[in-house]
Amino acid sequence: MAPACTPDSCPDSDAPPVHGLIAEGRRYSNWGGHRATTPAVYVEPISYADVQSIARNHRRFPTPVNPVGSMLSVTDAIVNDGGTLVCLRKLDSILGIETDALGRDVIRVQAGCRLKKLNMWLKEREREIPFQAEIGEATVGSVAVGDTKESSLDGPGFFSAHVVELTYVDDMGELRTISDHADGADFYEFKCSFGLMGIVVECCVETRPARLCRSDVSLETYETPQQLARSLLERRGQCDALLAIVFLDKLVSFYDQRYAAGSGSLAPFPQSECEEFRIAKRLAIQRGFDGVATPQPKGILYSRADFVNEYWRPCKDEKRLDFQYYEHDISKLERVIAESYDFTKAFAAETGFAPGGWATYFVNRPPRAQKPFGLYSDGPGVSFSFDPFCSDPCAPQWQDFSRRYNRLAIDALGARVSPIQTQWLEKGDIAIPKRLARSRFTTRYFGEFLE
Ligand SMILES: Cc1cc2nc3c(=O)[nH]c(=O)nc-3n(C[C@H](O)[C@H](O)[C@H](O)COP(=O)(O)OP(=O)(O)OC[C@H]3O[C@@H](n4cnc5c(N)ncnc54)[C@H](O)[C@@H]3O)c2cc1C
């Protein structure tokens, strides 16, 4: 990690005042309400100059300074007791489409912009980024340097792959811009840094003409986990992108088989069947698939941007999604499903608990040079995520399941995991290179993973 700049060694008194909202001693929690933190200072900058002053002024804004967006992350990524929590939500302008130095069409957007807003803005202009995950609340800054997954039509399936330029505030309060074409390896490393190298304030993201999507939705029951695994691969082979929700203990799987359906951003009317499915799916995700039946339409035609959804912040007694993320190479799919099934059945026999289901996404990995660390860093190939979820993040049995399953998934099955999407990680489960971290931005939680 880079050497610490202490209050005495930093010219903090020179930093101009911060104009955004500042609050002291308040408590903040994540979307699920199961992770909470009491920073010394919470601040919502309204200009890049504000972010620079925050980074510079060590007395007013104690170390560590941790950037957040919508605080959806399920892990302790947002926890920064006694430090400075910088929420970028008010820096959320979409600055326009431009052509970059390599002749690519890119959208310039501020870090606090939510993915739903970005997707709808692009849709109106008949453009898109291929990454159109279910989650519309996540902010661009977080997903540009953090982990994501989605079964994309003709795209890698993770947001940061599309980011070609970043503007950030470094630990000395300097505003810096880096890009794939000007900075190569340094830029790709930065995109694996979870905000530990700097606070992202602006990004350029590659766009393309909008495409429509057709979906066939179905449900199937199996006799064995091996049959289920083989069917997953078969279904994936039949379409252009597959999202599956596997009810593993019941050997049932829900499939959304997606097909590229030509250019355009407006599907022909009537849209009622599509809208009924979207609303049911949105509610199912909000509630962790607990007690929500989803229809199984065939041949619906839609813009994927419409299916990027917004989710209300749930109360503590409401059913709400909580999940664990695990990445595996596709060659391991049958083994992962069979061993996870055995584990789940044994856990259920012992405790009566089984996860509500397992979300399964497929992601295309880029060359290693473009994703040097963390998820998707094994070089070209296909990964799948097999992510158990539950409708109560505070349920002790779910937490126990997750802790124990971590050992099977990581130690025995060799899963890659995420510090913002996999809970209850232990030291050694992930390694973030020390050179990607600045002490000014490194919380205790992230510090545990530095090697
Ligand atoms: C209901 C629900 C559904 C979800 N569905 C999906 C899904 O379909 N696909 C998927 O991939 N994920 C999904 N997620 C996970 C979510 O998208 C990620 O955790 C995402 O990173 C959250 O974005 P955020 O703005 O809330 O980040 P926060 O939780 O606010 O921040 C997380 C971390 O991002 C970094 N960070 C944030 N802002 C900045 C910045 N400006 N500069 C530098 N670093 C920064 C920091 O390390 C921070 O700790 C879902 C989560 C929920 C609760």
Q: 402 and 264 in one domain?
A: yes
Residue 266, pLDDT score: 86
Residue 249, pLDDT score: 97
Give the single-character DSSP code of 5: P
Q: Is 148 in the pocket of ligand 1 (CB under 6 A)?
A: yes
425 assigned to some structural domain: no
Q: 226 and 161 in one domain?
A: no
CA distance 96 to 204: 10
66, 68, 325: residue to mutate for ligand 1 pocket, most atoms within 8 A of CB: 68
In angstroms, what is the span from residue 154 Cα to ligand 1's centroid? 23
Q: Is 420 in the pocket of ligand 1 (CB under 6 A)?
A: yes
421 assigned to some structural domain: no
300 Cβ neighbours under 8 A, 6+ residues apart:
214, 215, 217, 273, 274, 277
Q: Structural domain tally of the chain?
A: 3
Give the single-character DSSP code of 364: E
428 assigned to some structural domain: no
* Neighbouring-strand partners of residue 390: 322
Tokens for 143, please give them.
């997903």
Residue 13, pLDDT score: 59
Residue 120, pLDDT score: 96
Residue 225, pLDDT score: 98
105 assigned to some structural domain: yes
Residue 290, pLDDT score: 94
Q: 197 and 324 in one domain?
A: no
Identity of the amino acid at 386: F
Percentage helix, strand, coil for the chain under 3-state DSSP, each rounded to 5: 30, 30, 45
Q: Is 80 in the pocket of ligand 1 (CB under 6 A)?
A: no
Residue 294, pLDDT score: 86
CATH code at position 200: 3.30.465.10
CA distance 256 to 274: 13
Q: Is 78 in the pocket of ligand 1 (CB under 6 A)?
A: yes
In angstroms, what is the span from residue 140 Cα to ligand 1's centroid? 9
1 assigned to some structural domain: no
CA dist 141 to 28, 112, 115, 189, 212, Å? 19, 6, 10, 15, 27
CA distance 128 to 58: 40
Tokens for 439, please give them.
């002490």
The whole domain housing 80 covers: 12-88+438-447
Among 209, 230, 260, residue at a domain's last position: 209
Q: 371 and 327 in one domain?
A: yes
Among 170, 194, 209, residue at a domain's last position: 209
Q: Is 71 in the pocket of ligand 1 (CB under 6 A)?
A: yes
CATH code at position 253: 3.40.462
Q: 316 and 364 in one domain?
A: yes
Q: Is the pTM of this model over 0.75?
A: yes
Residue 11, pLDDT score: 52
Q: 228 and 273 in one domain?
A: yes
Q: What DSSP string describes 292-338?
A: ------EEEEEEGGGGSB------TTS---EE---EEEGGGHHHHHH
73 Cβ neighbours under 8 A, 6+ residues apart:
30, 35, 142, 420, 421
Q: 250 and 193 in one domain?
A: no
Question: Which residue reads 């602006």 in tokens?
Answer: 202
Residue 341, pLDDT score: 98
5 assigned to some structural domain: no
28, 35, 142, 326: residue to mutate for ligand 1 pocket, most atoms within 8 A of CB: 142
Q: 274 and 187 in one domain?
A: no
Q: 192 and 168 in one domain?
A: yes
Q: Using the atom order of ligand 1, give the atom closest to the CA of residue 70.
A: 26
6 assigned to some structural domain: no
Which H or E element spans position 67? strand 65-68
Q: 397 and 338 in one domain?
A: yes
Q: Is 178 in the pocket of ligand 1 (CB under 6 A)?
A: no
CATH code at position 36: 3.30.43.10
Find how far residue 82's CA is from the centre of its chain.
Answer: 26
Q: 169 and 75 in one domain?
A: no
Among 177, 209, 241, residue at a domain's last position: 209
427 assigned to some structural domain: no
Q: 404 and 285 in one domain?
A: yes
Q: Is 115 in the pocket of ligand 1 (CB under 6 A)?
A: no
CA distance 232 to 151: 13
367 Cβ neighbours under 8 A, 6+ residues apart:
379, 380
**Minimal-distance CA residue to ligand 1 atom 49:** 77
Residue 12, pLDDT score: 58
CA distance 22 to 318: 30
Tens-digit pLDDT profile for the chain (451 aa)?
Answer: 544 555 445 555 578 999 999 999 999 999 999 999 999 999 999 999 999 999 999 999 999 999 999 999 999 999 999 999 999 999 999 999 999 999 999 999 999 999 999 999 999 999 999 999 999 999 999 999 999 999 999 999 999 999 999 999 999 999 999 999 999 999 999 999 999 999 999 999 999 999 999 999 999 999 999 999 999 999 999 999 999 999 999 999 999 999 999 998 888 766 889 999 999 999 999 999 999 888 999 999 999 999 999 999 999 899 999 999 999 999 999 999 999 999 999 999 999 999 999 999 999 999 999 999 999 999 999 999 999 999 999 999 999 999 999 999 999 999 999 999 999 999 999 999 999 999 999 999 999 999 9
